[in-house]
Amino acid sequence: MIDISTGMLVLIGFLMILAGILSGFPIAWILGGIAIVTGLLFWGPQSLDTYYHQMYGLVSNYILLAIPLFIFMGAMIEESGIGKRLFDTMYVIFGRLRGGIAITAVVVGTMLATILGIIAGSTVMLAIVALPNLLRHGYNKAMSCGTVCASGSLGIFIPPSILLIIYGPVSGISVGKLFMGAFIPGFMLAGLYITYILIRSFLNPRDAPSIPAEEQIISLRSKIRMFVTSALPLLVLIFSVLGVIYTGIAAPTEAAAMGAVASILIAAFYRRLNYQTLKSTSHRAFDATVMVIYTCIGASMFQSVFMALGGGEYFTDMVLSAPGGRWGSFVAIMFIIFILGMFIPDIAIILIMVPLVTPIAEALGFHPVWFAMMVCMDLQTSFMTPPYAQAIFFLKGAVDPSLGITTGDIIKGVIPFILLIVFGMGLCVVFPQIITWLPGTMIK
């Protein structure tokens, strides 16, 4: 085995990750490959036995069954065509407001976040459905792109977020409590986005003009029918899944199974349920689950060798030595996660960093659910901060080229929303009850 200082080893490890990501290889193979090579060189053959136990523990973890079930639920709802119906309904409700189409995009993105669990589906749907409407009505390009990216990214935070399902077992915190802890701050972020749109529309009407009067004429009966056939089934699904978790009737895995069955019934209600839909949805759920599990395995292997070689103690000492006491250490953790989010996927960051930072947070006296939500809100920015910035690339890949959207337009547009997330984190620091109140009311 090679003898090397812990600090140098940590630096080499993260430089290897960065080089691997820039090479274009999947993050799962990068982390797993680095773990195997580093483990054999600096730890010895016993590292392979540890990796085996890590992989077995992951694939046999009961709570992770919720991942394919929630992904299936979201994919089935997406196949039902409810996204377009939902946008049309919210467009009718909010269209009279200045900035109403952008507000509609935020509302639809928030509602989709409660069923999709990952951001790809909601961001792509909004890019296809909402963005052309925004630009056709004269909305500012950058503002429109930022609205779509920020709204689509809410899926990693608002339950049933796949990120929270992974965070729970890694940190030893109940996934149900994490879901409830994310509920209010997730909707708070959506409210901040809407507030920003309203203020900007008022200060600069040319950025978000009102829709023509002829597009606003629709009877009350038609509005009610649109709401009942689009938004109501979705709301029933949301509150049935999250409601049984909140009341203690079912754990997240069982609730996910209920949601999967309910999504099939909704697809049948819209007459979109057939063999091809079931096949396509099952394939999408399988592909996404395999990607998530492989990433979990690779990150878990890397985290094991990192801890075994003293990286955990090195990181803890570095964070605790930050100036400013417990809040200085907290800011240091948030800053490190923010920087990592620019280069590494959120799931990998959770699996590598959470085992390191959770004991530190406990030692510093932070509420475990509150601290978990702050980490996840911090990661919310990673989907909009280049160079990784998944939301930006999902939008750029899905948008019609004829709209003339550039990457520069998107980056310019997401900056205000990143600042709003930071502002939201500040509110949760000042008023921690935003996060801790709802989990504290759960039925045990």
Average pLDDT over residues 184-188: 94
Angle at the Cα of 69 (from 67 to 71), degrees rounded to 5? 70
Cβ atoms of 125 and 78 closer than 8 Å = yes
Whether the bond between 132 and the residue before it is cis, its omega within 30 degrees of 0, is no
Angle at the Cα of 44 (from 41 to 47), degrees rounded to 5? 110
Please write the tens of the pLDDT for every residue from 232-266: 788 788 877 878 887 778 888 888 888 888 889 88
Please tell me the predicted confidence (pLDDT) of residue 430. 97
SS3 of 432, please? coil
pTM: 0.87
Cα 248 from Cα 400, distance rounded (Å) = 45
Question: Confidence band (pLDDT; 50, 70, 90) for 117?
Answer: low
Please tell me the predicted confidence (pLDDT) of residue 358. 93
Distances (CA, A) of 176 to 183, 188, 198, 419: 11, 19, 34, 29
Asked whether residue 329 carries a pLDDT value surpassing 70, the answer given is: yes
Please write the tens of the pLDDT for every residue from 206-216: 898 877 665 55
**DSSP structure string for 186-210:** HHHHHHHHHHHHHHHHHH-GGGSPP
Please write the tens of the pLDDT for every residue from 391-421: 888 888 888 888 889 889 999 999 999 999 9
Cα 224 from Cα 170, distance rounded (Å) = 44
Tell the residue number behind the tokens 């890694």, with chain if given.
Answer: 170
Mean pLDDT taken over the chain: 85
